[in-house]
Amino acid sequence: MDTQIRPGRLNNSKVFYMALLVLLILIFTDYSAMAQFGDDNYWIPPSDEVNDEITGIIMRDLTDIYLTGSTGTIYKSTNMTNDYSAILSVSESLNGLDFDGDTIMAIGDNGFATITFDAVSWTAINFGFTVTENLQAVEIQDNHIWIVGDGGIILHSNDTGTSWSTQAAPQVRDFNDLDFASNTTGWIVGDGGTILRTEDGGATWFTTTSGTTVNLNAIDVETSSSDRIWVVGDGGLFMISFGTSFGEVFSPFETGTTSDLLDVYSPRFNIVWVVGADSTILGYRGNEFKNTQVLFDEEPSVVFLAVYAINNDALAAGSSIYFNREGLIPEFTTDKDWNDIWFFTTEVVPLLLGGLWAAVQVIVFSLFIGFFIGLIMATFRTINNRPLNFISTAYSDLFRNTPLLVQLFFIAFGLPELGWNPPIFLDAIIALSLNTGAYQSEIIRSGIQAIPKGQMEAARSLGMTNVQAMRNIILPQAVRITIPPLSNEAVIMFLNTAQLSVIAYEEITRVGQLVATTTFLWSRTFVYVAMTYFVITYSITQLLRRTEKKLKIPGLGGGEL
């Protein structure tokens, strides 16, 4: 009997649910991988331990790291995992350092301070008056420098350290740290629960009620994406100030430890590292602390005095130095069982949704910018103007015949060599916009050429110019015709956001890499990643298919996606 194949296609919804079922089954395939995770340490020491007590850390980038030591030594490393070399030794104990651009300043006991403008030549600071107090912290903002220390001393320079003056404090306490949100607004913390605030660059300092009498040891101000202040102190004290009461009201937050907390740093919104006595390293995410980080058992009593981080790479130091394992961020610092599917899901899904939001932001900007680039280039390609034809053709050929990955590398790593170093978010938008603009220009050009020439002739016969005819008659129809291929380009661009992981932009794939390198559950993690892409792209395709049907112009194409 002959077998007849009936025309038609498998129902789209059935395909969707069948694929979803297969992906769910695959989730349970990698339980054995969890055995590799075991009791591995979250934080590990560098290969060449520094024989010093580290009191301060700055990381200008991951290959330009400086530390101060209690022996009066400044160390430099080009890799947080090793090679901490002494570059300067002085007679006074050093207590910390800060930088702004090429300016780096370190401070120490008995009024000692030194500064460099090229990271090579260091010059001892002459304040112009006698300073004998132990200096504890320094803050550099453009050409302004503030230094605080014991006995309530506040020093200020408005010319990058050339001349100095003292600023009056409303109370005499030992000041332990300071941070500024701008050249005018800053805070100082100190013993006995002291918090001082200024809104005029320190010309006037006034007391802010902290609600505590314990010693406050460190402060960090985060204003890049959300106005927040983090303050830590003795006895496990951790306080937050944000919202309408930013910098005025501080609320305690439970840390789960009673150890003295000695430093705090937030490399980006939603991530905070806190270190202190008794081997304490805390990771704060969103609105909760994860457990104290695991260190090597042979060093159970490390006193951490400083912490610094860039994105997800962190360095904690004190009586010993530790760096976090590659990709480890506070989201994953927990002693719960990653083999528990419910725990894994509740931890990972919110992170993937965060990566999805990051991808959507880039896609929205890139598609709109790319559409206007494509519209302009397509118009250039179809009008009778050789120079504009050449520009459009060269642009399209260049970006359609080179890999997106190469374009990403050039923009993210090549532009800084040429003197422009945009943030990663802008790198991603530039690369994707230029790439999709080339493809959209070809799509729109084909749509323009699909419009019968008689319509242009009719528009001209009515007295329209070429520009008016193109704008009012041709382009509106061409754009509607090109909705199916433009929709397909949007889906492709969404999938191409996965390549942004190579420049450390934290979209869906990058988040998956971070989860997998921490949990070693590669199969399960990337099943979740694949499910995220699949659900979103399938939903977008269905939405665009309906839009296409509504906007289809009879007789001018516009087949289904």
- DSSP letters, 316-363, are EEESSEEEEPTT--GGG---S-TT-HHHHHHHHHHHHHHHHHHHHHHH
Q: Are residues 187 and 298 in the same domain?
A: yes
pLDDT value for 307:
95
Do 453 and 531 fall into the same domain? yes
- Within 72-186, residue ranges assigned H as helices are none
The CATH number assigned to the domain holding 449 equals 1.10.3720.10
The last residue of a domain, from among 287, 304, 332: 332
CB 352, CB 506: distance < 8 Å: no
Residue 29 domain-assigned (yes or no): no
Q: What pLDDT is stored for residue 308 in this prediction?
A: 94
Q: Is 246 helix (H, G, I), strand (E, B) or coil?
A: coil
> Do 444 and 529 have their domain in common?
yes
276 and 397 in a common domain: no
Q: What pLDDT was estimated at residue 154? A: 97
Region of poorest pLDDT, from 208-212, 265-269, 337-341, 435-439 = 337-341
CA dist 552 → 7, 303, 331, 484 (Å)? 24, 69, 47, 10
Q: Residue 430 and residue 416: Cα distance in Å, rounded?
A: 14
Residues 89 and 221 in one domain: yes
User: Residues 140-169: pLDDT tens digits?
Assistant: 998 999 999 999 999 999 999 999 999 999
Mean pLDDT value of segment 52-79: 93
Considering the domain architecture, whether residues 355 and 249 belong to the same structural domain is answered as no
Which pLDDT value is given to residue 293?
A: 53
Confidence class for position 39, pLDDT limits 50, 70, 90? very low
Average pLDDT (57-84) is: 90
Task: Report pLDDT for 21.
Answer: 60
One domain, residues 320 and 462: no
Residue 89's pLDDT band (cuts 50, 70, 90): very high
Highest mean pLDDT among 275-289, 290-304, 390-404, 510-524: 390-404
Question: Residue 2 domain-assigned?
Answer: no
Residue 3 has pLDDT above 50, yes or no: no
**pLDDT for the residue numbered 23:** 53
The predicted structure's pLDDT at residue 291: 46
Q: What is the pLDDT of residues 235-254, one digit of tens each?
A: 999 998 877 678 888 989 88
Q: What is the pLDDT of residue 135?
A: 97
Inform me whether the pLDDT recorded for 285 exceeds 80. no
* CATH code of 71's domain: 2.130.10.10
| Position 337 in a domain | no
Same domain, 366 and 261: no
Specify the pLDDT at position 336: 53
Query: Which residue, 300, 332, 364, sits at the end of a domain?
Result: 332
Q: Which pairing describes strands 206-207 and 43-44: parallel, antiparallel, or unpaired? A: unpaired
- Is residue 317 included in any domain, yes or no? yes
Total domains present in the chain: 2
pTM tops 0.95:
no
Instruction: Give the closest residue to 245 by CA, choosing from 298, 207, 208, 196.
Output: 208
> Is there a single domain that holds both residue 507 and residue 447?
yes
Which pLDDT value is given to residue 517?
66
- Last residue within a domain, chosen from 275, 301, 332: 332
User: What pLDDT does 158 receive?
Assistant: 94
CA distances from 216 to 136, 210, 240 (A): 13, 9, 13
In a domain, 33, yes or no: no
**Residue 339 domain-assigned (yes or no):** no
Same domain, yes or no: 190 and 328: yes
Residues 6+ apart with CB under 8 A from 120: none
Residues 148 and 278 in one domain: yes
Q: How long a stretch of residues is the chain?
A: 561
Average pLDDT (331-342) is 60
**Averaged pLDDT, 314-327:** 81
**Is a pLDDT exceeding 50 seen at residue 115?**
yes
pLDDT tens for each residue of 441-498: 888 888 777 777 777 777 777 778 767 777 777 777 777 777 778 878 888 889 999 9
User: Same structural domain for residues 307 and 428?
Assistant: no
Nearest CA to 491 out of 424, 548, 446 is that of 548
Residue 9 domain flag = no
Average pLDDT over the chain, rounded to an integer: 82
Q: Which residues contact 275 (CB under 8 A, 6 or more apart)?
A: 261, 262, 263, 264, 281, 282, 304, 305, 306, 307, 316, 318
Domain span including residue 476: 351-551
DSSP per-residue string spanning 172-209: ---EEEEEESSSS-EEEEEGGGEEEEESSTTSS-EE--
Q: With respect to residue 49, please indicate whether it lies within any of the assigned structural domains.
A: no
**Residue-level pLDDT at 446:** 81
**Average pLDDT rounded to a whole number, residues 75-79:** 90
- pLDDT of 560 reads 43
